[in-house]
Chain A
Amino acid sequence: MEAERRLSLRIREGDCAVLKRGDVFKAVPVLRQRKIIFEKQGFYLDNAIGHVYGTTFEVTSDGNLQPKRQVEETTTETKEAGTDNRNIVDDGKSQKLTHDDIKALKDKGIKGQEIVQQLIENSTTFRDKTEFAQDKYIKKKKKKYEAVITIVKPSTRILSTMYYAREPGKIIHLRYDTLAQMLTLGNVRAGNKMVVMETCAGLVLGAVMERMGGYGSIIQMYPGGGPVRAATSCFGFPKPFFNNLHEFPLSKVNSLLCGTLSVETLPSESEDTALTEEEMNGLVDEKQSSVQGTEEESSAETAMEINQTEEQETIDINAEDAEFKENKEKENKENVREKQRKQWERRKKLTETAALLREKNADGLLVASKFHPTPLLLSLLEFVAPSRPFVVYCQYKEPLLECYTKLRERGGVVNLKLSETWLRSYQVLPDRSHPKLTMSGGGGYLLSGITVVLDKGKSDSSNLEALKMEEPSSKRCKVQDLCC
């Protein structure tokens, strides 16, 4: 166990690692002889293999990485600085080096550190700048010319920051602090049985998996042809973490709730692979109805498509598995058998997942999707045990307002809370501390609450509570009196 942990500290071939330069992250697979482009620089990761995660590397001119020890601070000899900028004129001629000079320096393969030094020496105004301005100048130039890259181990912190900065659209603008709230409000921890419905490329799923550490089970509800787990795979979870990860198609939720879910209809698990692509492009409006609706259109055409893709998959796998098997006919037979086996396995897994859901004893529900939250909540909450938390994320406030109202009408929930977090970063430097110039405008909204036993047919009491909420406080006392 300990040895394994020590081993996992090192960068290994096939790992998923995260490159970091300044505040910029990029997740990459560690492969030999594969060129990586990061922050306008191309390099190979070969040399990084075997080093410990957290190592900082310098990119050499031939595109290799060289580990860099602690940055020896070039403490500039007895600093000379001005006190203010009254005599600094922007004539555009303060830098004596031309673009071509700088390019020549770079082409010669001179270290970034030296280029920065040259820039400083050739700046006529540098010495007149205030100490603070000098600092700022150096920092800016270092950022541009000193190519140091740190390779770090992926985590929710890193991946959620990375996704929010690089591809916010793919995670429906779920800011990392909002994701942090979800995990806490949802009481996500080892041993839980969680239901997760997300269209955040698998980032929320990964965050939940990290917090559960392989203990307990997760049921991922997915729209379309299958769950998207691009971000999940960036976490590099050990295999056992996937043993208790289940998935269930959203389109079967209603039939499961009505008790009409039959194993026969299961093989066509994914009724609309075609649709997923559309969904990717955000054409989801009509899909909302299908969440509520009861239509069971496992059409033949789409089933065909699935078979095709399935075949593709099996071929790929076999090609890897059994390269040496020259006999094509045999391979074909194997393919058919493989396909049947896969289908059978899929069916079995779905039956298992359906059984897990039917127990209706999940320990929590997390929703972060591009769909309207109301129908999702009204259905998926059925699977959650009483006295368990649920959290819904939405990029917009309005759908959550409706969801709030509908949940009140339904009853079976308490402590409903609609919230949003603001995140502010600070620059902290001696005598120069202040909030950063820009902050994120929005990281989405959360609706959270706790389930309670739903007593059917007596919804008036929950209406009463709803009333309580909406009345001004002066009236609230009266309503409370009523319920005593």
Chain B
Amino acid sequence: MSFVEYGDTIKDGDTAIVFLGHESMFPVKVQQGGVTQTKYGVIRHSTDLIGKKYGSKVTCSKGGWVFILHPTPELWTVNLPHRTQILYSTDISVITMMLELKPGSIVCESGTGSGSLSHALIRTVAPTGHLYTVEFHQQRAEKAKEEFREHGVEHLVTVTNQDVCKNGFGVSDIADAVFLDIPSPWEAIGHAKSALKAEGGRICSFSPCIEQVQRTCLAMEEYGFTEINTLEILLRVYNVRTISLQIPDLGKAAEDNSSTGFDSSNPSNQGSPGTNLQQGTVQFKSGVPLKEMVGHTGYLTFATKSLF
């Protein structure tokens, strides 16, 4: 396994995702002789995991079962140990496309944070691209390095421990794209510009507050970036439910077929022929929005470094 290549079977040293049920999962480092506790009982790595196919159902000691999934940046994002606030896949998707990333792209990122976006960027630019990521917090920088090594992607990423606003990305005239997720991105726009290739490139800044966006846009304009565009993306998830609605009893009409008329004419009323006159119900499938959803993550400001 690696985060940039699929493998068929689980091997010693892999990071695998234990999938317990709806939305419930956690990562596990597979080790010869290792054990993992789940609510369905123990998983013994040597016998239950190593050599098994990814996607297999593994029966735990109490008889319950889980699925073992191959890691992907998206699964990692929802399972990684948080050291900071992280970016989620919805924003990451738009960032990746709008920065025009693809295999071979050279990307600069700051800060590294918990490495949620980093993994996705590395996935996209592999096998010939590279990620230069800058994190001013020493412990976080080291932790990220360690994770990249464990995930078999260290050759695709360089982690630098410095302040991007003061010292920049440590590279110049090399990047196709720059991504900023720092409190004062406007202070790093100049560095971003010099990190980008002379022939141009794309930039994105992520900020939760509109005041930050305001200052960033001004800085971008000042440094000659064009196509400055701010957007926001919201994910709406739906639960699929079968809903039954009761038909109100309006009393017996003079012609008694008037109330049945509705029932029988409703095409979505399959599977419930037992709708009786007194207590009729209509069943249908619906996508019900979650009770609560993420209303705001951050504004994404994109721009192009143009030729002149």
Measured CB to CB, the residues of A under 8 A from B are 9, 52, 54-56, 69-70, 155-157, 160, 176-177, 179-181, 183-185, 187, 189-192, 210-215, 361, 363, 385-389, 397-398, 400-402, 404-405, 414-415, 417-426, 428, 430, 433, 445, 450-453, 455, 461, 465, 468-470, 480, 483-484
Contact = CB atoms under 8 A, between A and B. Distances in A.
The B contact surface, by secondary structure, is mixed
A157 B307 contact: no
A465 B199 contact: no
Given A69-B308, A401-B240, A181 B93 contact: yes
Given A181-B93, A361-B8, 16 more contacts: A160-B97, A183-B96, A184-B74, A184-B120, A189-B4, A190-B4, A211-B103, A387-B68, A404-B240, A419-B237, A419-B238, A423-B232, A425-B229, A428-B230, A433-B214, A450-B69
Nearest to B238: A418
Contacts of A452: 19, 55-57, 67, 69
A482 B240 CA distance: 22
A104 B72 CA distance: 63
B53 A386 contact: yes
A432 B63 CA distance: 61
Contacts of A419: 235-238
B210 interface: yes
8 contacts: A156-B97, A157-B98, A180-B93, A190-B127, A418-B239, A421-B90, A426-B210, A470-B240
Contacts of A388: 6, 55, 70
Nearest to A211: B102
A426 B232 contact: yes
Nearest to B103: A213
Interface string B268-290: 00000000000000000111000
B73 interface: yes
B193 interface: no
Contacts of B237: 417-419
B166 interface: no
Given A418-B237, A433-B214, A387 B232 contact: no
Contacts of B259: none
A157 B239 CA distance: 30
B223 interface: no
B5 interface: yes
B55 A451 contact: yes
Interface string B85-111: 000011011101110101110000000
A483 B64 CA distance: 6
Contacts of A426: 210, 213, 230-232, 299
B102 to A, nearest CB: 5
Contact of B57 (A185, A445, A455): A455
Contacts of B89: 181, 184-185
A401 B8 contact: no
B124 A211 contact: yes
A189 B123 contact: yes
A425 B230 contact: yes
A54 B257 CA distance: 71
Nearest to B305: A54
Contact of A453 (B55, B92, B217, B307): B55
A217 B239 CA distance: 34
A470 B304 CA distance: 46
A67 to B, nearest CB: 10
B233 interface: yes
Q: Which of B63, B97, B126 has its CB near the most chain A CB atoms (within 10 A)?
A: B97
A180 B287 contact: no
Contacts of B90: 181, 421
A54 B307 contact: yes
A151 to B, nearest CB: 11
Given A419-B238, A421-B90, A484-B64, A386 B54 contact: yes
B96 A215 contact: no
Given A55-B307, A155-B100, A184-B96, A469 B239 contact: yes
B126 A190 contact: yes
Nearest to B70: A387
A181 B22 CA distance: 20
A56 B307 CA distance: 10
Contacts of A214: 103
Interface string B290-308: 0000000001010010111
B301 A397 contact: no
Nearest to A160: B97
B240 to A, nearest CB: 5
Contact of A54 (B6, B8, B200): B200
A397 B287 contact: yes
A66 to B, nearest CB: 15
A48 B286 CA distance: 53
B21 interface: yes
Nearest to A418: B238
B308 A430 contact: no
Contacts of B306: 54, 56
B124 A189 contact: yes
Given A179-B97, A401-B286, A424 B56 contact: no
Nearest to A458: B57
B125 to A, nearest CB: 9
A404 to B, nearest CB: 5
Nearest to B62: A484
B6 A424 contact: no
A389 B217 contact: no
Interface in B211-229: 213-214, 217-218, 224, 228-229
A205 B273 CA distance: 45
B40 interface: yes
Nearest to B68: A387
B37 interface: no
B234 interface: yes
B265 interface: no
B73 A424 contact: no
Nearest to A425: B231
B96 A420 contact: no
Contacts of A401: 240, 285-287
Contacts of A418: 237-240, 287
B266 interface: no
B238 A215 contact: no
Contacts of A468: 21-22
B32 interface: no
Contacts of A184: 74, 89, 92-93, 96, 120
Contacts of B64: 483-484
Contacts of A180: 93-94, 96-98
Given A185-B74, A387-B70, A421-B235, A415 B19 contact: yes
Given A155-B100, A468-B22, A385 B217 contact: no
